[in-house]
Amino acid sequence: MATVLRRLSLKAIRNLSPQHSGFTYPLSTPDPSRFLVKSIRSLAFRHPYSQSMCSLANHEASIDAALNLDDRVPATIITGFLGSGKTTLLNHILTAQHGKRIAVIENEFGEVDIDGSLVASHSSANEDIIMVNNGCLCCTVRGELVTMLLELVKKKRDKFDQIVIETTGLAKPGPVIETFCTDEQISRYVKLDGVVTLVDCKHAMQHLNEVKPRFVVNEAVEQVAYADRIILNKIDLVSDADLEALTKKIQHINGMAQMKQAKFGIVDMDFVLGVGGYDLDRSIIFVSYIYLAFWLCRIDSEVPSDGSHCENHTHQHGHECHQAHHDHKHDSAVSSVSIVSEGTLDLDELDDWLERLVEEKGEDLYRMKGVLSVIDSEARYVFQGVHSTLDGCPGKPWDPEEKRVNKLVFIGRNLDESALRKGFKGCLV
C-alpha cells in the first residue's frame, strides 16, 4: 500500500512541477512551502484512493481522533544537531510542572551512555528512561525503536501519559517519523504529536551551510525541515544580527514551523507538548513526508555544495540504511571515539588538555561530553563541549561502593583516536 501511495504522491508532486525536476510555485506565493503543503493536503483529500490507502488501524485511529476518542499515547520527537540543547530541553520537560508522566527514549551516537545519566539525575521516574546506544534511530537501531515503543505501550501504558524521544544529533528525522505513520502496530497505540527541533544559534549556520560530498544529505538541514516547532536555543551566545540572519535562513528551509527563541531550552511546555502536528489523516502525513523529501532536494540544491543533488538521497555517517526509499549513509568522515576507563583525573591537566584540543581541532570537534572522576571530589565531574565552547561542573556524588569509571565521548570529523586516548591518559594521576 505504501508503495502505491508513494507512486501516487510522487505523481501528484510531479504534476505540481511541470517545468523541472524540482517544483515550481506561483510567483505571487510568499511562502512556497506553505503553498505546497496546502496543495498536497488538498490533493490528498481529493484523491479517491486516499481513504483506502491506510490500514484499518489508521482509519480507526483517524475516526477516533475526529470523535475525540483517540486514547493513543502522544509521542514527541526531539531532534537537533549535536550539542544544540536536546538533553537540556528534555530535562526542562522532565522537571516542569505540566502534570504529565513522561516516558523517555534516549538515543546516543557513541557507544557510551552519557546523556542517560544526565537525564536520569533530573527525572523522578528513572525506570521509564530507555537508552539506545551506538546507532541512529533513523537507521541502524530503527527496529529497536519499534520494539521499545510497543513494549512501553503494551506493558506500561498506565504508567505514563506521553513519550518523548530524543534522537542523536546526527539523526535524520524522516525515517523516525515514518515509523509512526507506516508501522501498523505503532500507529494503533502511539500517535506522533510533533517534531521539536533544537537549533544551536552559535553553530547552526556553519552546519546548515556545510558542504557535503555528493549524495550526502545535510542532517542539520533535514532536522530543521521536518520540524513542527523550532527552538532557537543558546541566544545568549550570539549577536542580534547573527540571530536575525539565522532566523531568515531557517525560515527559508521551513516556513511552516513555529519558532521560539530560548536560553537553555526554556520554553512554555505547550510549545513542545500537545503540538498536534500530526492530527491528520495518516495518508496525508505520508504524502507530506514525500513532499518534504522533495522539498529537501530543493533546499539541498540551494545549500552551497559541490553540486550534489538528491537523485539517490544518500547521506553518510559511517553506517548505511537500506530502506526502500530513504537509503542513506551518514558522513563517513564523522565518527565517535568513546573512552571508558577507571582512574582519577587531575582537573588542571584535564582543563589544559581540553583547551589545547579545542584550540587546535575545535572546528572539527562537533561534540565532547564526559562524566569523570576527578581528584579530591566526591562528586562526578560533568564536562560538555560543542566545538570550542567548553563547560564543566560537579554532578551527582559517587556512591561509596560505586566503581568510579570515567566515560568520555568525542564526536567529530576526522578524529585522531590514538591522540585522544593518549591525551586522556596524560590527565590521569
Q: Which residues bind ligand GTP (CB under 6 A)?
A: 80, 82-88, 115, 169, 198, 233-234, 236-237, 263-265, 367, 369, 384, 386, 391
Min separation Cβ 338 and ligand GTP, Å: 13
Q: Which is nearer to ligand GTP, 83 or 174 (CB)?
A: 83
Q: Which residues contact 166 (CB under 8 A, 6 or more apart)?
A: 78, 79, 86, 87, 90, 104, 105, 106, 107, 115
* Identity of the residue, 43 or 368, whose beta carbon is nearer to ligand GTP in the bound complex: 368
Asked whether the beta carbons of 187 and 54 are under 8 A apart, the reply is no
**What is the grid cell recorded at 55?**
490500514
- Comparing CB distances to ligand GTP, the nearer of 83 and 277 is 83
Nearest distance from residue 385's CB to ligand GTP, in Å? 8
Residues 429 and 144: their CA atoms lie apart, in Å, by 40
Q: How far is the CB of 65 from ligand GTP (least distance, A)?
A: 31
Q: Which of residues 111 and 391 has its CB atom nearest to ligand GTP in the complex?
A: 391
CB of 263 to ligand GTP, least distance (A): 4
Listed in sequence order, the residues at least 6 apart from 70 whose beta carbon sits closer than 8 Å to its beta carbon are 61, 64, 191
Are the C-beta atoms of 234 and 200 separated by less than 8 Å?
Answer: yes
Please, what is the end-to-end C-alpha distance for the chain in angstroms? 62
233: β partners: 200
The least distance separating ligand GTP from the CB of residue 115, rounded to whole angstroms, comes to 5
Q: For residues 5 and 382, which CB has a smaller minimum distance to ligand GTP in the complex?
A: 382
Q: Which C-beta is closer to ligand GTP: that of 79 or that of 288?
A: 79
Helix/strand/coil (H/E/C) assignment for every residue in 204-245: HHHHHCCCCCCCCCCHHHHHHHCCCEEEEECHHHCCHHHHHH
Rank residues 6 and 86 by Cβ distance to ligand GTP and give the closer one: 86
E strand or H helix at 270: helix 269-272
Tell me the closest approach of the beta carbon of residue 152 to ligand GTP, in angstroms: 21
- Interstrand relation of 334-342 and 405-413 (parallel, antiparallel or unpaired): antiparallel
- Per DSSP, helices labelled H in 18-169 are 32-46, 56-66, 86-95, 115-120, 142-155
Q: How far is the CB of 367 from ligand GTP (least distance, A)?
A: 5
